[in-house]
């Protein structure tokens, strides 16, 4: 899963972030958080994704750097891409505007499929 977002509060302060998560069972959670004009790197971003009966994401909770962000996912841009908004955060301020983009393959990107799609890009020493 890959996630990017940006938000602005009514007082003009802005923030956002991006992160990646590996396959199930793989502890890979790096990303960045923008807060108060400063970007910090994190290696332990915790994301909890809720999906509906069709396997489509509906909500996302992100926790990192002592902060939390709750997103509502409202539309799909294809089978892997979803767009939503920040509904609330630990800052306790309502977002004036926000945007969140998620790429969530839901098991569609297996190692075999990735190998097949990248085969034409194999490096010389891989042959």
- The count of residues in the chain is 127
pLDDT of the residue at 104: 84
- Residue-wise pLDDT for 32-87, tens only, equals 999 989 999 999 899 999 999 888 899 999 999 899 999 999 888 877 889 999 99
Which residue has tokens 């891409």?
Answer: 81
What is the 3-state secondary structure of 55-82? Answer: CCEEEEEEEECCEEEEEEEEEECCCCEE
Poorest-pLDDT segment among 75-79, 89-93, 95-99: 75-79
pLDDT of the residue at 123: 63
pLDDT of the residue at 62: 96
pLDDT of the residue at 27: 75
């Amino acid at each position: 899963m890959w996630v990017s977002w940006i938000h602005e509060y009514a007082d003009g302060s802005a923030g956002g972030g991006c992160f990646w998560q590996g396959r199930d069972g793989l502890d890979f959670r790096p990303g960045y958080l923008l807060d108060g004009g400063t970007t910090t790197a994190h290696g332990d971003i915790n994301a909890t994704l809720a999906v509906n009966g069709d396997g489509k994401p509906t909500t996302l909770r992100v926790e990192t750097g002592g902060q939390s962000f709750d997103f509502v996912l409202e539309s799909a841009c294809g089978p892997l891409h979803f767009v939503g908004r920040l509904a609330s955060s630990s800052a306790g301020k309502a977002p004036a505007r926000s945007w969140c983009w998620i790429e969530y393959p839901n098991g569609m990107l297996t190692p075999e499929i990735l190998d097949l799609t990248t085969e034409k890009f194999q490096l010389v020493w891989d042959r």
